[in-house]
């Protein structure tokens, strides 16, 4: 990670803090689709069968986004200044290549709009983080998120282009 990328802001999830309330999903779905339907959220909370363990599926806005590389029409672009990776729905042909390529399964296909969809970072103020009262999902610098994920995953997040 180069110095200029280290200060870019990304989302960071702490499963120890997550209560499973799904307010992050509701805030995201409402912001992006005007609906309180969690299925339309760009962040998904997944609970184990016993309901004790939870994980979040969300876009890491990768340094080298595989979803963008997989897109045959360049509908996914990374803003080099902010680091945010976004889908341009006007260019998207709905082939779903990005959804298959994403290593964290964050990109998804919106059947209603017939395009790929993923986190937009809410133009710098992600509502999922703002409405997460236990701060299980929060905004962090790319360097902070990378260090935290290395600790959580035991170094598995250190290689390749998928680290935040």
**CA neighbor of 53 nearest in space, from 15, 14, 104, 105:** 15
Instruction: Calculate the alpha carbon distances from 1 to 61, 162, 164 in Å.
Output: 13, 11, 9
Asked whether residue 36 carries a pLDDT value surpassing 50, the answer given is yes
Indicate the pLDDT class of residue 159, thresholds 50, 70 and 90.
very low
Q: pLDDT tens digit string along 46-72?
A: 999 988 899 999 999 999 999 999 999
> CA nearest 103: which of 44, 57, 150, 151?
57
- pTM of the entire predicted model: 0.86
Residue 1 pLDDT > 90: no
User: What is the CB-side half-sphere exposure of residue 67 using CA atoms within 13 A?
Assistant: 33
Assign 3-class secondary structure to the chain.
Answer: CCHHHHCCEEEEECCCCCCCCCHHHHHHHHHHHCCCCHHHCCCEEEECCCCCCEEEECCCCCCCCHHHHHCCCCCEEECCCCCCEEECCCCCCCCCHHHHHCCCCCCEEECCCCEEECCCHHHHCCHHHHCCCCCCEEEEEHHHHHHHHHHHHCCHHHCCCCCC
In this structure, are strands 76-78 and 9-13 parallel, antiparallel, or unpaired? unpaired
Q: Which domains does the chain have, with CATH numbers?
A: 3-154 (3.30.70.20)
Hey, how many other C-beta atoms are within 10 angstroms of the C-beta on 120? 17
Q: Mind listing the pLDDT tens digit for each residue in 97-133?
A: 999 999 999 999 999 999 999 999 999 999 999 999 9
Residue 8 has pLDDT above 80, yes or no: yes
CB 99 within 8 A of CB 108: yes
State the pLDDT at residue 122: 96
């Amino acid at each position: 990670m180069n110095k200029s990328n280290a200060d870019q802001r990304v989302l960071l999830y702490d499963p120890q803090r997550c209560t499973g309330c799904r307010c992050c999903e509701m805030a995201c779905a409402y912001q992006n689709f005007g609906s309180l339907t969690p299925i339309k959220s760009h962040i998904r909370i997944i609970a184990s069968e016993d309901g004790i363990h939870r994980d979040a599926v969300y876009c890491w806005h990768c340094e080298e986004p595989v979803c963008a590389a997989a897109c045959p029409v360049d509908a996914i672009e990374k803003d080099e200044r902010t680091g945010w990776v976004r889908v341009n729905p006007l260019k998207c042909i709905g082939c779903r290549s990005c959804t298959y390529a994403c290593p964290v399964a964050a990109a998804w296909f919106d059947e209603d709009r017939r395009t790929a969809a993923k986190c937009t970072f809410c133009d710098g103020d992600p509502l999922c983080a703002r409405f997460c009262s236990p701060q299980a999902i929060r905004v962090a610098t790319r360097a902070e998120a990378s260090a935290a994920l290395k600790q959580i995953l035991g170094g598995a997040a250190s290689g390749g282009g998928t680290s935040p």
